[in-house]
Amino acid sequence: MTTRTEIDFEDHMPVQVQHDASTECFAKQLLDIGNKKMAIDESTQCITLPTNFCKITATTDELIHKVFPNITQNYKCHQWLSERAILAARNSDLNVINFSIHNKIQGKATTYKFIDTVMYQDEVVNYPTEFLNSLDLPGMPPHVLTLKIGMPIILL
């Protein structure tokens, strides 16, 4: 059974999920959370997620295997990849997951580093190289970016 569910979060871009019968229920649950329709525990100020909200995995490797089974054979198939995603609240969590997936893909890795100098040399004392290299800004690649030929990436 093919379903298509669209979730519209106010002024945000609609999210479309295809080929999964459970998406309508999940979309409704997400909207209920966003619209504050879930019961809040007064003592903790937290909500309790429904038991069918998600599937819990014990390890990161198990999560990767469930979302990307046979990644080493399928990573070049754009259609297959477009049907899968792992979402996380923090970039640092995604970096760990991406690193693990990257290690599963065969091939020679090439490392790139972004430029870590300031435009005006009199500002160099205000922005040490170590500080510039430690920045992990949203929308910017990490200081050290390692890629392999054929590995999927997203360019923004």
- Looking at the fold, whether 79 and 90 belong to one and the same domain comes out as yes
**Domain boundary, last residue among 11, 29, 54:** 54
Residue 36: give the domain boundaries: 1-54
Give me 31's structure tokens: 């909207």
- Ranges of the chain whose pLDDT falls below 70: 1-21, 116, 155-156
The reply to whether 27 and 72 lie within a common domain is: no
Residues 112, 96 share a domain = yes
Buried b (16+ CB within 10 A) or exposed e, 64-83: beeebeebeeebeeeeeeee
Query: Are 39 and 78 part of one and the same domain?
Result: no
The full length of the chain comes to 156
65 and 99 belong to one structural domain: yes
135 and 87 within one domain = yes
d(CA 116, CA 133): 7
pLDDT at position 8: 45
pLDDT given at position 133: 80
Structure tokens at 4: 């298509």
- The total number of structural domains that make up the chain: 2
Note whether 113 and 145 are same-domain residues. yes
Q: How many CA atoms lie within 13 A of 4 on its CB side?
A: 2
DSSP state letters, 4-19: EEEE--TTSPPEEEES
pLDDT at 156: 63
pLDDT at 61: 92
89 shares a domain with 36: no
